[in-house]
Structure 1
Amino acid sequence: MLVWLGRRHREARSGQVFARTFAVVIVLFAATVLVYGALASGWDIGVALPFHLSDLAWMAAAYTLWTRHQWSYALTYYWGLTLSTIAMITPAIEVPDFPHIDFVDFWAEHAMVVWAVIYLTWGLGMRPDWRSYAIAVSTTLAWGVAALGFNTVAGTNYGFVNAKPNAPSPLDLMGDWPWYLGVEVVLGLAVWALITWPWTRSRGAASSGQPVEA
């Protein structure tokens, strides 16, 4: 449905209205949950701050839906298509059952980012390229260094860069700290390159006059 809507209203005013409404819904939902979480935890610094990549992903998604800027689309594409999807397949935290607010928060927040990627890419026609790849890699590495430093000082574990999560996760297959961080980086670089290459290959074929499959 999102792909159909994006293609049908790509150049129309209604498309912009839908995209910006989508952005507002993401921001209002995420902000409401953040406030609730801070109040419910008595403002626990370990969980109350939006420092996880999943938090940055919804911010990038909302910003891109509103502005259609390529740099924020790059972050939305790579973080949403891989990290948000993996989080839903193998949650790194213990998610309570529905209708608990943490259940709604976890699934809705990650799903909306993935939906935004689908809408922006296959609906509106935005595409990643190797510059987008470089933006996503450099931003993610910078965030990792910042998170590692903040966690060390504050005694937190945002992004699970200082320790593995308590719940089972793919990190359990990557060795102990800090080795799993290196494995994450290598796998991330490879997977992100793989989901960049088809788009750049299509452009190259189109520019050379060769037929391109839809």
Structure 2
Amino acid sequence: MSAPFVMFSTIHIATLCVILALMISLFTFRKKFQFDMQKTRRIERGIALSLIGMEILYHVWMVQSERWRLVDSLPLELCSLSLLVTAFLLWTGNKHVVDFVFFAGIGGALQAIVTPVLDMDFPHFRYFHFFYTHTMIILTGLYFIWIKGYRPTFKGVVKTMIVLNVLLPVILLVNKLVDGNYMFLRNKPENGSLLDVLGPYPWYILSLEAVAFLIFTLLWLGLRKSTRQSRSVSGD
């Protein structure tokens, strides 16, 4: 039985440092990642398969440990949806889903790794599943900007907000049908998160919309600046 995860413990801070180092390395050594097209596609699809494989193993583990329930095990959390979209993007290169990974994926995954809703600590499988999948969502979004040459736009921010608001009534309906709390649309997480400072239910949902828009906009501004720096260094 694994020890419970403790937010901002030594292992949590060390994990955040590793993730930050990976992000910095991806940007710093971006020119060295310019593989030939065939090799690049193999790597991208390999990572896509690893993400799907990790998610399948996670559900197998939940079933075997009698944790799988309709109320909280469907892939309807923002990061679960982002993981599936990220795998689809890596496998297909479909540019129509890039914005969702840029903004919803990176924005949601960053918040998740800083304030994890997690009950299993290192070295449990769930710890590795959680941080691997969230880290790869972030790195995939950055990879498509810094290495594949996609440029984030404010239009992409708006499109992502529209997609999330289209999903909102669907998630609310599922929550009602299964008595769930997907995307925390009925209650806040018990072990603390960003939602604690966004007001009581249901007002924190509106606050969360504003925070999401702000985070997506900041990501757009920050990633746009890094893209310009990347192109300047490479001489494009």
TM-score normalised by structure 2 residue count: 0.77
Q: Quick one: which of 186, 193, 197 aligns to 2:217? A: 193
Query: Retained in 2: the 8 A contact 1:27–1:62?
Result: yes
Q: CA deviation at 1:164?
A: 0.5
Query: Quick one: distance in 2 between partners of 1:129 and 1:174?
Result: 27
Query: Quick one: distance in 2 between partners of 1:166 and 1:202?
Result: 36
Question: CA-atom RMSD, angstroms?
Answer: 2.5
How much identity, in percent, do the aligned residues show?
22
Paired residues for 1:200-211 under 5 Å: none
Q: CA deviation at 1:190?
A: 2.2
Which residue pairs with 2:19 in the alignment? none
Q: Quick one: which of 46, 50, 53 aligns to 1:25? A: 50
Q: Quick one: which of 122, 141, 155 aligns to 1:117? A: 141
Query: Retained in 2: the 8 A contact 1:10–1:124?
Result: no
Query: Retained in 1: the 8 A contact 2:48–2:86?
Result: yes
Query: Retained in 1: the 8 A contact 2:101–2:141?
Result: yes
Which residue pairs with 2:208 in the alignment? 184
Query: Retained in 2: the 8 A contact 1:70–1:132?
Result: no
Query: Retained in 2: the 8 A contact 1:46–1:156?
Result: yes
Query: Retained in 2: the 8 A contact 1:7–1:124?
Result: no
List gaps (5 residues or longer) in structure 1.
206-211
CA separation of 1:198 and 1:54: change in aligned 2, threshold 3 A: closer
Which residue pairs with 1:58 in the alignment? 83
Which residue pairs with 2:127 in the alignment? 103
Paired residues for 1:59-74 under 5 Å: 59-74=84-99
Query: Quick one: distance in 2 between partners of 1:67 and 1:6?
Result: 23
CA separation of 1:6 and 1:51: change in aligned 2, threshold 3 A: farther
Query: Quick one: distance in 1 between partners of 2:68 and 2:218?
Result: 40
Secondary structure of the residue aligned to 2:69 is coil
